[in-house]
Amino acid sequence: MNDKLWFVPLVLGLVALAVAHYGGLVMAPTEAMMGEVGRIMYAHVPTAWTGMLMGLVAFVFACGSLATSKDGWDIGTHASVEVATLLCTLLCIQGALWAKPTWGVYWDWDPRLTSTAILVLSFAGVLILRALVHDQGKRRIVTGVTTILAFVNVPITYYSVKWWNTLHQDMSSGSSIADEFKWSLYLGWLAMMLIAVGLVGLRSAGLMARLRREHGETALPKAKQKIELLAEKGGA
């Protein structure tokens, strides 16, 4: 696949996001319980859903990387963990902005908020550990194992509002959302998914190109040594 084609879902996602946010911030009716503050859900909920799914994508890539030891799976793990970290960080920021007018504080050690913060730190930890390991084989294993461990917190975060007493509202579902809110919310989710796919694809392409350059630089000295050895044998 041409690397530049990854810009297609990214651009489509940005356009769809603009339409979804216009629908949510301007056209949608005011939410009955939270008023105008409730409009942040059109950004917050799609970010949450997509961030969780990117965690799942990273988990799948990590399993593939450990099972096959192929660079493509390892790079996919790296890229998807980066995007998941970005989205979960954005999720925490959006949650704080929502919490201030709703709960009166930017942060409360609510189970959903706390588990999301741990998720951000876990994915960031994967990237930090990966950067510290320079051997490609060891780096692949470390990245795969730590990504799987970090993913354990994804279902915990998702179900936290059901498992514990929490200030956070219950999980949203199609049956709990009024019809007039649905199209902006679901379009926003589709937009975020397209953006995430585009970012993962572009980042993976860049990482693969860098890996090929590194392999090429490593292979050149070895090839030179072989040529010199053959020349010595020929001279002898």
DSSP lists the bridge partners of residue 35 as 31
pLDDT band at 219 (very low <50, low <70, confident <90, very high): very low
Burial class (CB in 10 A: 0-12, 13-18, 19+), 124: middle
The one-letter amino acid code at 113 reads L
pLDDT band at 215 (very low <50, low <70, confident <90, very high): confident
Report d(CA 126, CA 88) in Å as an integer.
Answer: 14
Q: Give counts: helices (H), strands (E), the chain.
A: 7, 0
- Domain boundaries, position 77: 3-235
Report d(CA 196, CA 192) in Å as an integer.
Answer: 6
User: What is the residue-averaged pLDDT of the chain?
Assistant: 83
Report d(CA 165, CA 156) in Å as an integer.
Answer: 14
pLDDT tens track for 84-117: 999 999 998 988 888 788 778 888 788 888 888 9
> How many structural domains does the chain have?
1
Report d(CA 228, CA 220) in Å as an integer.
Answer: 12
Of the listed ranges 12-21, 40-49, 166-175, 211-220, the one predicted with least confidence: 166-175
**What global pTM score does this model have?**
0.82
What are the backbone dihedrals phi and psi of residue 31, each rounded to the nearest 5 degrees, phi first?
A: -70, 135
Q: Are 179 and 51 in contact (CB under 8 A)?
A: no
Residue 43 has pLDDT above 60, yes or no: yes
Report d(CA 9, CA 230) in Å as an integer.
Answer: 51
Which own/partner contact pairs does 71-76 have at CB distance under 8 Å and 24+ positions apart? 71/136, 71/140, 71/208, 71/211, 72/208, 74/139, 74/140, 74/143, 74/144, 75/204, 75/207, 75/208, 75/211, 76/200, 76/204
The reported pLDDT for the residue numbered 228 is: 54
Of the listed ranges 3-7, 58-62, 142-146, 225-229, the one predicted with least confidence: 225-229
The reported pLDDT for the residue numbered 220 is: 45
Residue 236 has pLDDT above 60, yes or no: no
DSSP 31: B
CB atoms within 10 A of CB 15: 12
The reported pLDDT for the residue numbered 76 is: 96
CATH number at residue 112: 1.20.120
Q: Quick one: CA dihedral 163, 165, 166, 167, positive or negative?
A: positive
